[in-house]
Amino acid sequence: MINEAVLLESKTLRDSALERTEVLDRVKALSLLPDGMHVTTAMVAAYFGVGLEAIKSLVKDHKTELETNGYHLLEGEELRSFKDLSGIQSRTRSLAIYSRRAVLNVAMLLRDSEVARQVRTYLLDMEYAARTQPVDNSVHTAAASLDDRIDQRITHILGKAVVPMFNALIETSGEHRQELIALREDVQRVEQRLCDHDTRITDLERTRGPRQYTGIMASIDAMNWREFEDHIAVLLRRDGCTEVVVHGGPGDRGVDVTACTADGRTVVAQCKSFAPYRPVWSGELQKFLGASHVQHAADVALFVATTSFTPDARAIAESYGVTLVDRAHLEKWSAGVPLPVLR
Instruction: Give tens-digit pLDDT for 29-50.
Output: 888 887 778 899 999 999 999 9
Whether the per-residue pLDDT at 282 is higher than 80: the answer is: yes
Asked if residue 215 belongs to a domain, the reply is no
Q: How confident is the model at residue 118 (pLDDT cuts 50, 70, 90)?
A: confident
Q: Which of 131, 146, 167 delimits the end of a domain?
A: 131
Domain end position, chosen among 176, 208, 240: 208
Q: Mean pLDDT check: name the lowest of 143-152, 177-186, 194-203, 269-278.
A: 143-152
Q: Which helix (H) or strand (E) holds 78?
A: helix 76-86
Tell me, yes or no, whether 60 lies in a domain.
yes
> At residue 147, does pLDDT exceed 80?
no
Counting residues of the chain whose pLDDT is more than 90, the rounded percentage is: 35
Q: Within this chain, do residues 336 and 236 fall inside the same structural domain, yes or no? A: yes
Bin 251: left if φ > 0, else alpha if -120 < ψ < 50, else beta. left
The answer on 80 and 166 residing in a single domain is no
Question: Is residue 250 a part of any domain in this protein?
Answer: yes
Same domain, yes or no: 241 and 334 = yes
Q: Are residues 117 and 162 in the same domain?
A: no
Q: Which of 159, 174, 208 is the last residue of a domain?
A: 208
Query: Is pLDDT at 188 greater than 80 in this prediction?
Result: no
Given a cut of 90, is residue 125 above it in pLDDT? no
Phi, psi (degrees; rounded to nearest 5) at 256: -105, -35
Q: Are residues 54 and 15 in the same domain?
A: yes
Rounded to whole angstroms, what are the CA distances from 268 to 245, 271, 288, 337?
Answer: 10, 10, 10, 20
**Res. 323 pLDDT band, cuts 50 70 90:** very high
Q: How confident is the model at residue 143 (pLDDT cuts 50, 70, 90)?
A: very low
Handedness of CA 39, 42, 44, 49 (dihedral sign): negative
Whether the CA torsion 7, 10, 15, 16 is positive or negative: it is: negative
- pLDDT category of residue 341 using cuts at 50, 70 and 90: very high
Q: Say what the pLDDT of residue 292 is.
A: 83
Q: Are 101 and 142 within one domain?
A: no
- Of 117-121, 154-158, 189-193, which one has max mean pLDDT? 117-121
pLDDT over threshold 70, residue 127 = no
Res. 151: pLDDT tops 80: no
Given a cut of 60, whether residue 73 has pLDDT beyond it is yes
The answer on 238 and 163 residing in a single domain is: no
Q: How confident is the model at residue 247 (pLDDT cuts 50, 70, 90)?
A: confident
Residue 218 forms part of a structural domain: no
What is the DSSP code string of 149-208? THHHHHHHHIIIIIHHHHHHHHHH-STTHHHHHHHHHHHHHHHHHHHHHHHHHHHHHHHH
For residues 237 and 294, the model is more confident at: 237
Residue 216 lies in a domain: no
Residue 52 backbone phi and psi in degrees, to 5: -60, -40
Same domain for 244 and 319?
yes
User: CB within 8 A of 4, min separation 6: which ones?
Assistant: 117, 120, 121, 123, 124, 211
- Look up the domain containing 261 and give its range: 223-342
pLDDT score recorded for residue 133: 53
- Within a domain: 217: no
Number of structural domains (the chain) is 3
Judgement on whether residues 153 and 265 belong to the same structural domain of the protein: no
